[in-house]
Structure 1
Amino acid sequence: MPSSHVAFGQEVGWGPQYWPAYGEQKPRDLDWARTDIGYYFVTETDTTGFRVPVVQSEAGVKDFVTAAKANGKKAVFTIGGWIGSRFFGSSVVATDRNRQAFVKDVKAFLDTYTFDGVDFIGPSKLITAAIATSGLVEPDGSPLADMSDLGKVFDIINLMNYHVGGSWEAPSGPNYPLRTYKSVTSVVEVIDTFKKAGIPASKMMLGIPAYGYSYKLKSSTLKSQKIKGSLRKTDTNEPIVDVCDVRTASYTGMWHYVDLIDEGLLSSNGKVRLKGWTRHVDACSVTPFLFNRIPKNTSCRKAQRVEAGGGVYTFDSTGFNEEGKSLSHSTLDCA
């Protein structure tokens, strides 16, 4: 189970957003007016259970719950993530004894900080999960064909239908495609996969990323141009070997929406492209390239694929400025 995010509810037209507790954004700075559920991101597993990472403070956990309740919203934590879930299958739930201890630890953590979820016992608590595009897997690594039992237990299933394609693949592809062409999967395919596996559409939350990727083309179609300096660098993730012994291939190329504005590539409302950048929207994946804003109706058309579903969520809460959030909210009305 991945970790915490901030939820924008159906009545407003939004769904959850991940709030990175390890980042600079304060809980009070979240847009609680558009948020129904705040998911604290992240707690991580270890060999005996789970914990709050050392780079995150206990005071931060308390501040998050306090901010949520002060705004009349629910506070939820989830467990895992890329690094934080590495001990989940091998240790945390490997035996009956470990599973029982894990449930007790989760309940104690929930009660200590007065979270509204995650809970594996109390019927009044929320149980949610963010799940990768292929769904859950069997012990041998094959996709779990029948997830209907999970559909009965979980209140919300957040579909992680982003980070699908990028410069690490050949050929490169869109981060968040509507349809599958040469990409690994797509919004349409992910939703169909989960529906066929027995997850009710009413419990699905479709993920909307608040970031895109830059690419270095084989043959340049744009003039070289300098961008203004910034105190905050947009891409500082140098190649490293992480704790899972996986080496990142290159700089990530990830650009938050606000960074595109800070670097002068977009106007503050995301409507005007600057510095000579051009835009092309791929008809198949409905993905904008050579980034302007996400054009009106692209997020809407993808969100419609949830049909009578649970809504949408955003990864993460730091990626949009106020005008970007308002714009994305309005696009979901499909006007």
Structure 2
Amino acid sequence: MSAGRPFEPEPAGQDLAAATRWLTTTGGLDLAGPLTGRLIAGGKSNLTFEVTDGERTWVLRRPPRGHVQATAHDMGREYTVMSALHGTDVPVPAMHAHCTDDDVLGAPFYLMERVDGTPYRTAAQLEPLGAGRTAAITGRMVDVLAALHHVDPAAVGLAEFGRPEGFLERQVRRWTRQLEGSRDRDLPGADELAAELAAAVPTTDRAAIVHGDYRLDNLLVGPDDEVAAVVDWEMATLGDPMTDLALLLVYDRLARLDLGGQERSVSDASLAPGYPDPDEVQRRYAAAGHDLDDLRWHLGLGFFKLAVILEGIHYRHIQGQTVGDGFEGIGQATVPLLATGLDALHGTD
């Protein structure tokens, strides 16, 4: 949270008076007064605000400004999956309202419960906890992922949330399209990695609720070191759960990669004493009753996906459409991620 930053009627240019009108009429909320808010620091994708009516506090989320891919930043998707998972073994905030009218804030948005917790992103945040507490927190991170992948989509009303058949083929096509939609420069390795992934898609019948961006700093950890909430569900769908596990392992490797000087722009939490190594993560996940098939292919896809995400942020930044700090030079990480993806796919990493 951006503690100390004052609440304002128009944080980062958002007209909260308009949001107040919509929430008290169409949204059906009983607010004590007009909303004020503040931008929550650290986001490079959707814009997230802490908002209050003077008595209660919530979190409001909306897509980033400017260049937005057609399949990205889906507020309805986040709202739907968290609404469905509330009350399961996967902790999520309670949902309060979802606005699809672009005329209110210039984009769809939703309002959810504000959950107290820390999104641990850096080794410096974890080190004071000690190796034992870090190991416990990260173990629970893996356990929650395993629990998510055991949830029956039909039992929580998500049977039509995605199309598991052909999921991996569509993932390759989707991220290839997204890269082309924000590509304005030569990216060595991009075409090769996309082609090799497309040519070797695994055959699988696994189908689960997939988070799509699961990592430690997308969890809010409470004062009891339990996972209080899983957030940032904009890429959730039904598909192969190995994509989540592989992307978690990819994120954990970033701190050890040469990313063209952009190492500080990614999480280095995996360097903290007590953080499990990749083999430990895989063992704990498998012990919960999950298979680990085709991991190398999924790692290649994970690096490709992350490269595309960072390239999209880079593109929005050079167009002057990002909000906040920390975007300068982020595009320098794209090519190293593509190269590492090829190495993972070939088994030479």
TM-score with structure 2 setting the length: 0.29
Identify, as 1 or 2, the structure richer in helix. Answer: 2
Task: State TM-score, norm by structure 1.
Answer: 0.30
